[in-house]
Structure 1
Amino acid sequence: MARINYIELPASDLAAVRSFYASAFGWQLTDYGPSYAATTTGTVDLRLQGDLSEATAMPLPVMQVEDIEATQRAVTEAGGRISKAIFAFPGGRRFHFLDPNGHELAVMQAD
């Protein structure tokens, strides 16, 4: 069963927004390269995408699954439209899709 794993926010000033969440909520964020940081609580986490060429315009819910290929097939068979094909990132692989109302979501599978 898939669950929402994290919400990814675009971060035009990664250092400032990282500092904001740390100061306002006491969250510790781990850096994953120069343009990405995330909380790692094991529940629903917050991720900050500082590379705006990779960021979505709106918050991006990301669901974690065990079988990314099977999930991609299920998404398309259910009427979803793939907006970004499966790609690798540090820690796993993911793809993006649009639901029938045009909302963008992502699915990831951890390494």
Structure 2
Amino acid sequence: MSQTSINYIEFYCKRIPVIKAFYSHAFGWTFTDYGPEYAAFEDGKLSGGFHQNQEETAGGNPLVVLYSADLEGVRDKVVEAGGTITVDIFAFPGGRRFHFADPDGNVLAVWSE
């Protein structure tokens, strides 16, 4: 049996330009546009995309957890880029993390040891 792993993550969004500016500023992600309603991203390890769709609800996606060695610094960049902290930094067995919503309401988390 072959091993299956996450290869690509896709989010719905309402405003491609706002989403690109947010993730570029907060995390340094790069983007490739595929028409006016789709932008693919690269974060250095994983690929994904944002599909502009006004009828889908942002924030209903699975929780994607990002990693950073500088949890507080990334939290500050998220807020500076226009994100909203939905769950502030908390400890859990193995580390600490926080949750945030991007400008279109997609909720993600960032963790560190």
Q: Give the TM-score normalised by structure 1.
A: 0.48
Report the TM-score when normalising by structure 2.
0.47
